[in-house]
Amino acid sequence: MPTLSFRFLCVLFFAVFSLPAAADVLVVTDKGHPVKAAGGARVIELDLPARIEAELSSGLPSDPARAANLARQRMGDRALPGRLLAAYQGIAEARNLKIAKIPAVVVDGRYVVYGDPNVARAIARIDAYRSARP
């Protein structure tokens, strides 16, 4: 069976994950700004990488050798790299969209409502705005 090159896998990964979502609704927030998410909305939590890193260091023993061993075991979790990659990609996407405040509800990558934690209400505001300006 032929092996796929790392470069090909990276291109494939970014091609698949950069496709717009069916609902095309993105919510950018953090733990301090909880939102009432609508079904189908993709949520980016800007503080997620820090929370994942805190999980890694939580409860480590004071003995440096034991702490290092436990940290290596935790970093060996197969899901960890994917979680961190997704978390940092979300931050990059939010920066690319120039999100200025959270929570932010973005529709079609063009329309944004800031400060409303109710995603359905924010989407309704965007729909009303778009309907008034065909």
Q: What CA–CA distance (Å, rounded) separates 46 from 92?
A: 10
- Pick 16 or 40 by higher pLDDT: 40
Dist. CA 83–CA 89, nearest whole Å: 10
The answer, yes or no, to whether residue 81 has pLDDT greater than 80, is yes
Q: Is the pLDDT of residue 79 over 90?
A: no
- At residue 8 the predicted structure's pLDDT band, cuts being 50, 70 and 90, is very low
For the entire predicted model, the pTM comes to: 0.72
Query: What mean pLDDT, rounded, does the chain reach?
Result: 83
- Residue 85, pLDDT score: 93
Q: Which amino acid is at 121?
A: R
Residues in the chain, overall count: 134
Spatial distance between the Cα atoms of 34 and 19, rounded to a whole number of angstroms: 26
